[in-house]
Amino acid sequence: MINKLKEILNKSEHWTEIRYHNRQQTSIQIKNGEVNRVEDSTVAGVGIRCLVNGCWGFAATADMSKESLEKAVEEAASAAEVGSSLRKNKIDRIADGEIAKGNYIYTDENDDVELKEKIDLFLEAEEFIREKENIVSGVVNYSKYNDEKTILNSDGAQVNIKDIKHDIGVVSIGHNGSSQEIGSVSAGVTGGWSELFEERSLMEMVEESVNIARTKLEADYTSGGDYTVILDPMLVGVLAHEAIGHTVEADFVMSGSIVQDKIGEKVASEKITMIDNGNIDKAAGMTVVDDEGTVAQPTTIIKDGILKEYLHNRESAAEFSVEPKGNARAFTYRDEPLVRMTNTYIKEGESSFEEMVSDIDNGYYLKGLGQGGQADANAEFMFGVQEAYKIEDGKITDPVKGITISGQAFEVLNSVDAVGNDLKFALGRGYCGKGQMAKVDAGGPHLRCKVKIGGQQEGDVN
């Protein structure tokens, strides 16, 4: 394979990038005692980009013959030539990062079980959900991506990449005759089947999802207001990815996001350091080499409250005169690489969870992402919260439900007065949908900060 691709690359008259991608994907859904979906598919082909007269051209083909590959190069170059006549701001150059060469294999392919064994296990888990009191429905969702890539380009990249990603989600739906509540737990990993359950077993995930749903059934609603809260690692990760991370992707920055021209300015509490890094072992967004053949390095987005770096591909890095660090990603061979996050997180601090709780007289402990949520280019956000508990006189007390949090993300980060010492990647089945899908992860430690809480009284519920 690689010799054929090298021959095609060497024949091209233009700067060329060739990316072969073979993806074997498995998807299973168990719902209410039935095998609702079993899919096992393979998608394979080559995506080719050419840079001609300051413009990109892209073509893709599933036909691996020499003739088809040569034709795809011609089509990509032709598209670039046509686009160049219409593009005002030509690409003068693309930046040099650390160019990948060699083999990058970071998973154990033998750490897996047969498809039937997985289905039987998921059926057993879902049945266990429905056996619980006040639980009326259960769902188990599972996905596996087995990816092989070969990337070559005119700058000398020549890399073979192999990784496997598993993720699983467990949902329990409770009903007590008057109201319905959902408990959801998920996990994701780059690695083997057994590594997916290193933190907790499938049955432990089931128990947790059931407990969440049943606790919410008994919880009261609460009214809204401005409160001091503690966010758990999942909500910290959602805030980091959705409300902050997208604003610092260089293509969004150049389109006018809120952080445009703010490098070097204070944007958060001095307690906040935020990083994106594709080379985090086992994290679901692990991307050791990106789809431009650049080796992943940590990008320090915020350091001690100061905005330090944006996320880049090679084109935007040249525009900003910086080094790309592995944030160009494409979901399949048919997709062009875009500026994307990988594993985005807030760095741990020094406070224990108990210390953070003890200093709150009237606030909330908030856990997990609930239903609904949005964020925009101004870092304004609104997220549903899955679990919420009152904090009164320094102690966690009663559960409440129906809570959303909202605000301006940088203002929230400026309000942080305590950062936990318990960093965790917690996005679980994390996918980002910026034009094309991408597997991502995010997290952080517990954070104490101020947010606006939206709540509702029981009489407000329809």
Cross-strand partners of 44: 22
Question: Rounded to an integer, what is the distance from CA 214 to the centroid of its chain?
Answer: 28
User: Which one-letter DSSP state was computed for residue 75?
Assistant: H
* CA contacts within 13 A on the Cβ side of 365: 22
Alpha carbon distance 258, 297 (integer Å): 25
Give the pLDDT confidence of 364-403 residue by residue, as tens digits.
999 999 987 899 999 999 999 999 999 999 999 999 999 9
CB 8 within 8 Å of CB 18: yes
3-state SS assignment for residue 95: coil
Determine the pLDDT at residue 108: 81
Q: Which two tokens stand for residue 452?
A: 């606006």
Task: Answer with the residue of higher pLDDT: 372 or 415.
Answer: 415
Q: Which two tokens stand for residue 430?
A: 């994390």
Determine the pLDDT at residue 273: 98
Put residue 420 in one of left, alpha, beta given phi > 0 → left and psi -120 to 50 → alpha.
beta
Work out the average pLDDT over 184-194: 97
The amino acid at residue 164 is I
Work out the average pLDDT over 96-104: 96
Determine the pLDDT at residue 373: 85
Determine the pLDDT at residue 461: 33
Predicted confidence band at 459 (pLDDT cuts at 50, 70, 90)? Answer: very low
Determine the pLDDT at residue 138: 98
Taking CA 449 as the corner, what is the angle to CA 446 and CA 452, rounded to the nearest 5 degrees? 120
Give the pLDDT confidence of 107-157 residue by residue, as tens digits.
888 999 999 999 999 999 999 999 999 999 999 999 999 999 999 999 999
Give the pLDDT confidence of 324-369 residue by residue, as tens digits.
999 999 999 999 999 999 999 999 999 999 999 999 999 999 999 9
Work out the average pLDDT over 194-210: 97
Put residue 197 in one of left, alpha, beta given phi > 0 → left and psi -120 to 50 → alpha.
alpha
**Position of tokens 């979901």?**
331
Alpha carbon distance 104, 293 (integer Å): 11
Q: What is the dihedral of CA 256, 259, 265, 267, to 10 degrees?
A: 150
Work out the average pLDDT over 259-276: 98
Alpha carbon distance 385, 43 (integer Å): 36
Q: What percent of the chain is predicted at pLDDT more than 70? A: 98
Contacts of the segment 108-116: beta carbons below 8 A, 24+ positions apart: 108/191, 108/192, 109/146, 109/162, 109/164, 110/192, 111/191, 111/192, 111/193, 111/194, 111/195, 112/164, 112/192, 112/193, 113/193, 115/26, 115/38, 115/40
- Which residues in 84-120 are b (16+ Cβ under 10 Å) and which e? beeeeeebeebbebebbeeebebbeeeebeeeeebbe
Domains and CATH numbers, the chain: 2-218 (3.30.2290.10), 221-460 (no CATH)
391 CB-near residues (< 8 Å, 6+ apart): 230, 357, 360, 362, 363, 364, 365, 397
Give the pLDDT confidence of 13-60 residue by residue, as tens digits.
999 999 999 999 999 999 999 999 999 999 999 999 999 999 999 999
How many C-beta atoms lie closer than 10 Å to residue 226's C-beta?
10
Alpha carbon distance 457, 119 (integer Å): 41
The whole-chain average pLDDT of the chain stands at: 96
3-state secondary structure 329-363: ECCCCCCCCEECCCEEEECCCCECHHHHHHCCCEE
Nearest CA to 401 out of 374, 356, 367, 429 is that of 367
CB 169 within 8 Å of CB 429: yes
Determine the pLDDT at residue 19: 98
Give the pLDDT confidence of 218-260 residue by residue, as tens digits.
999 998 999 999 999 999 999 999 999 999 999 999 999 999 9
How many C-beta atoms lie closer than 10 Å to residue 1's C-beta?
12
> CA distances (Å), 292 to each of 6, 103, 133, 162, 367, in order?
16, 15, 52, 15, 37
CB 269 within 8 Å of CB 379: no
Alpha carbon distance 220, 427 (integer Å): 27
